[in-house]
Structure 1
Amino acid sequence: MDAEIENKDLLRGGQFLVKETACEDIFTPEDFTEEQKMMRDSVKEFVDREIWPHKERFEKKDYALTEEIMRKAGDLGLLGIAVPEAYGGLGMGFITTMLVCDYISGATGSIATAFGAHTGIGTMPITLYGTEEQRQKYVPKLATGEWFGAYCLTEPGAGSDANSGKTKAVLSEDGTHYKISGQKMWISNAGFCDIFIVFARIEDDKNITGFIVENDPSNGITLGEEEQKLGIHSSSTRQVFFNDTVVPVDNMLSERGNGFKIAMNALNVGRIKLAAASLDAQRRVITEAVKYANERIQFNTPIAKFGAIKSKIAEMATAAYVGESATYRAGKNIEDRISIRESEGNTHQEAELKGVEEYAIECSILKVAVSEDIQNCSDEGIQIFGGMGFSADTPMEAAWRDARIARIYEGTNEINRMLAVGMLVKKAMKGHVDLLGPAQAVASELTGIPSFDTPDYSELLSEEKEMIAKLKKVFLMVAGSAVQKYGPELEEHQQLLLASADILIEIYMAESAVLRAEKNAKRFGEEAQKEQIAMARLNLYHAVDIIHSRAKEGIVSFAEGDEQRMMLMGLKRFTKYQNQPNVVALRNIIAEKVTAANSYPF
């Protein structure tokens, strides 16, 4: 095991809420190795050469171009980054796989979706759950792009409730094969895939079962027409119909009834990869918007000089910076957990499954936060372009449409919000995260006499770190009281869960940005990192407002009388700045850096 991993305090998933993290213990984009930087630069070069110049063709539903680009990506080894070398891949670490996903996805959502569907849910279930024979047979072809994969889970009546699918798998009398019949919809890559990962129910099993099904039209497989979609126009998306499709028993994936578990674990990986896939999209939107703002002259002045535009540029850059900070922080935690499990004797497959599963809460947080950030970013990009932004002749319009799907797939953001809180409560009940002790401590603090001492905030970002500690108390106060009041019935109070989730999300994202800024200021100097510090402070300012609003909504929904008054007083105390940040000044610092660079420079 890496000595660096041994020397740092690696928190379990969800423990960020109840334990303090030292900035030295997190990974940031400034920590990429030379090999990772080379990989990043080669992917950017590939995208700028093969994808970005052809954006117009992608908007005109050129499905053949998507397939062509995917084959070229396969030739470069980009489809096999996460695949172990034993099966024809490059066997890179988790951070490198995220890095490739990040930078290959920024130019168009069509390639982002095709790449994610193939390398993630199309290939990964076989890599992680397949038998050795299945891996040897299928994974090398998928890793090189000789074959492409697709994932058949969703049905007309089974979306968020994935385990309710009606597709049937019936065992033949001689026990040699299953016959699969049913309808799947919204299947990415269906138009050019060679392999389907299909989920079907055997008899009246409680849970669905996974199968590897080769795409052979003569075997009862038919495809619907290409779906007409709001965005991701050149992502092949079709319905798939199975009519007594014969599948050998050897093509069952994992064990009977294990399909729901496969689906959920595949989604965990998909969620953090979706966050990564939304990052370079933000960088590119920001860069295009800033270039336009610097060139567009109104009232004899570049519009980038106007305060209204500076505000937008600063907020867009800040959201991208925060998303990067949190996504790569969680990605390295997963990579380190995988390394620890491998050192303890787990196979790579077991280690990766358990490593990602450990941070399922963070994966859901990231999926929600970053998918909403790219939507906001592209929306503001349109606004900066003004009337031109509404035109299909500029890249903003397509970016906005492509961004919209990210809040829906890999589980809707509403589902992921409720999952994040639900998983945290379950971890607490299993003893994996001690929520009870800290929640009781906060409850005692509410009834105690507050300190009137003036704190010492002389150290860099010390007030911000203290504020994050107080925001964690807000979550413990609200969620702790809600769990105490409703117990197992908490999941029925969805609006309260959504409010709690927003508090949780803002804490993780804000802490990640503050820790990144602190770490970089310590090693590169405070002056060199003044824009990063400004972004961390600006984001935290917004987080405090959001948390105050959502916590208040939650408190008044379940507490009354003295309890309510006490919690609202506590909320006011926990969201109070000693020194209010000058938000306008922070935005100006950030915007000036971005406009001077004429691109996203961080």
Structure 2
Amino acid sequence: MEAKSKDLLRGGQFLVKETKAEDVFTPEDFTEEQKMMRDSVKEFVDREIWPMKERFEQHDYALTEEVMRKAGEMGLLGVAVPEEYGGLGMGFVTTMLVCDYISGASGSVATAFGAHTGIGTMPITLYGTEEQKKKYVPKLATGEWFGAYALTEPGAGSDANSGKTKAVLSEDGKTYAISGQKMWISNAGFCNTFIVFARIEDDKNITGFIVENDSSNGISFGEEEKKLGIHSSSTRQVFFSDTKVPVENMLGERGEGFKIAMNALNVGRIKLAAAGLDGQRRVISKAVEYANERIQFDVPISSFGAIKLKLAEMATNAYVDESASYRAAKNVEDRIALRIEAGNSHQEAELKGVEEYAIECSILKVAVSEDIQHCTDEGIQIYGGMGYSAEAPMESAWRDARITRIYEGTNEINRMLSVGMLVKKAMKGHVDLLNPAQEVASELMGIPSFDTPDYSELLSEEKAMIAKLKKAFLMVAGSAVQKYGTELEEHQQTLLAAADILIEIYMAESAILRTEKNAKRFGEDTQKEQIAMSQLYLYHAVDIITVKAKEAILSFSEGDEQRAMLMGLRRFTKYQNMPNIGQLRKTIAEKVISENKYPF
């Protein structure tokens, strides 16, 4: 599928423009090369990581470092790095694929891998000078060196630009002396380089620096943090005391650090979504294996409706998350390709390509991190008392999953960002929200149609429902923007409700489009369970959107306006043919049970 600007929606435009099923990328579209890469990563994980789960729970930081070195030798740390700097120079989808499959067996490895390849290496690749890239990136791409990212400070968490770390220029103008304290630094215990953010004089924005790890240069560490999960991920405080950094190690321009940090987090967010996919597949597979083997009342517990319900919901979320993650990844890849065709450098194209889909990155980060937490929680429940034991794989998976809702920006921050960025895009004219919102407002004042639509085509009612849910978002968000204007971001509860509507629309639509595309090319009979999962997820999405939209409407409107919007909400969330939820779950669960694994 070539990148064509006329077919490629901009970030956030999924809300106001129709996406055709044939235009979405799905995991069924992987090339032979991508499938080979996937299989080699799975083989590596099954050999080097999965059998070591117990050691990863024992704070074996050396094991994480050893696995990372082996991953480097296989080229897995340099998948996204251009070939001229020692990497494989593969496209964005392939980098997502590697991140997906290397992350499922251990949260400690997933964190080390993400911190190194993403926020540890990528800022140099994308913002570094030619000299910086030649000096550092080849070592980072091969695993000879490891990277870390030093942004967070004790007093500056979500407010990243408020850090107190200082960078003072020497009198001869040759070095900066960096002093300050950083915390929650992944890979700190074995990294060779830090991307450090510090403030020069009283600059409004922080500045990035590449700092080599050298204890004789005023760098010291706190003890390894005692954490709920990711036990073998090295996480330490780092202290800089007059640490000398050559002026040529400034990353990007002075005061550009906040921009670098935010763009690094955009990539980190979509990669974090990828890192939550195979974890779900593995948990589902282990859960159904146990359910098929565990006999109670003379039958496997997998035959009970309560267990089928859990397996169906777990599998559905995994399928939807996968659909949305690879849809967005391909959009990013195509946008990068378009920019390169237009004459942008690789750096500029990659930066702008990811930045374009920052809304989708935040949506995916929230959705997948919450789904993997739910998946591991249900995994424990299926195992029963054994699930609570550290002897079983579910307990560590649940603890490892918990951090995903916090790092790369908390889910609350990402929810508010997704809507905030959408409004900003609308104000810049990149996404036309105003005209569609006005059309919805006019529709509310008009007489509703009483015609019975023809939903004979596959998933046609589901697609019509998605279109109506988009109207529900435009109604709520449009009214909120009209009421609060530039003060919208101060009304966090309204933003959070709007974000949940936005998230459910994107995730549900992604699954429906994937299923429709595959049903058309492989035959409807091959997609029976996928159709059921798409319908089941949409049913839940409609419920969530109904609740969240109502919350928002009641919080900022009253009188006739409120009554009109509540009537509109009922219209926009009404099914013509309600699905049989019990039957959908049964269809999905029986496929998972018969295959004894996550089979999609």
Identity across matched positions, percent = 83
Contact 1:510 1:539 in 2 (8 A): yes
Of 562, 577, 580, 2:575 maps to: 577
1:554-594 CA distance string (max 9 Å, x none):
00001100100010000001000000000000000000000
Contact 1:8 1:25 in 2 (8 A): no
Of 431, 434, 438, 1:433 maps to: 431
State how far apart, in whole Å, the 2-side matches of 1:550 and 1:594 are. Answer: 32
1:536-575 to structure 2, matched below 5 A, reads: 536-575=534-573
Name the structure 2 match of 1:68: 66
Contact 1:499 1:554 in 2 (8 A): yes
Name the structure 2 match of 1:446: 444
Name the structure 2 match of 1:11: 9
Name the structure 1 match of 2:199: 201
State how far apart, in whole Å, the 1-side matches of 2:305 and 2:523 are. Answer: 28
Name the structure 1 match of 2:123: 125
Q: State the AA in 2 paired with 1:307.
A: G
1:60-459 to structure 2, matched below 5 A, reads: 60-459=58-457
Contact 1:322 1:512 in 2 (8 A): yes
1:350-405 CA distance string (max 9 Å, x none):
00000000000000000000000000000000000000000000000000000000
Contact 2:2 2:334 in 1 (8 A): no
Q: State the AA in 2 paired with 1:58.
A: F
Aligned-residue offset at 1:8 = 6.5
Aligned-residue offset at 1:24 = 0.1
Name the structure 1 match of 2:590: 592
1:282-319 CA distance string (max 9 Å, x none):
00000000000000000011000100000000000000
Q: State the AA in 2 paired with 1:320.
A: A
Aligned-residue offset at 1:4 = 2.5
Aligned-residue offset at 1:6 = 2.6
Aligned-residue offset at 1:5 = 2.1
Q: State the AA in 2 paired with 1:529.
A: Q
Aligned-residue offset at 1:7 = 8.4
- Corresponding residue pairs, total: 600
Contact 2:120 2:147 in 1 (8 A): yes
Structure 2, unaligned runs of 5 or more: none
* 2:586 partner SS: helix
* 1:44 partner SS: helix
Contact 1:207 1:258 in 2 (8 A): yes
Q: State the AA in 2 paired with 1:124.
A: M
1:435-514 to structure 2, matched below 5 A, reads: 435-514=433-512
Contact 2:5 2:338 in 1 (8 A): no
Aligned-residue offset at 1:507 = 0.2
Q: State the AA in 2 paired with 1:470.
A: K
1:75-105 CA distance string (max 9 Å, x none):
0000000000000000000000000000000
Contact 1:126 1:253 in 2 (8 A): yes
Structure 1, unaligned runs of 5 or more: none
Cα-Cα RMSD: 0.6
Q: State the AA in 1 paired with 2:252.
A: S
1:28-70 CA distance string (max 9 Å, x none):
0000000000000000000000000000000000000000000
* 2:3 partner SS: helix
Aligned-residue offset at 1:113 = 0.1
Q: State the AA in 1 paired with 2:559.
A: G
Q: State the AA in 1 paired with 2:213.
A: N
State how far apart, in whole Å, the 1-side matches of 2:6 and 2:426 are. Answer: 23
1:16-35 to structure 2, matched below 5 A, reads: 16-35=14-33
State how far apart, in whole Å, the 1-side matches of 2:56 and 2:87 are. Answer: 28
* 1:123 partner SS: helix
State how far apart, in whole Å, the 2-side matches of 1:24 and 1:348 are. Answer: 28
Aligned-residue offset at 1:9 = 1.1
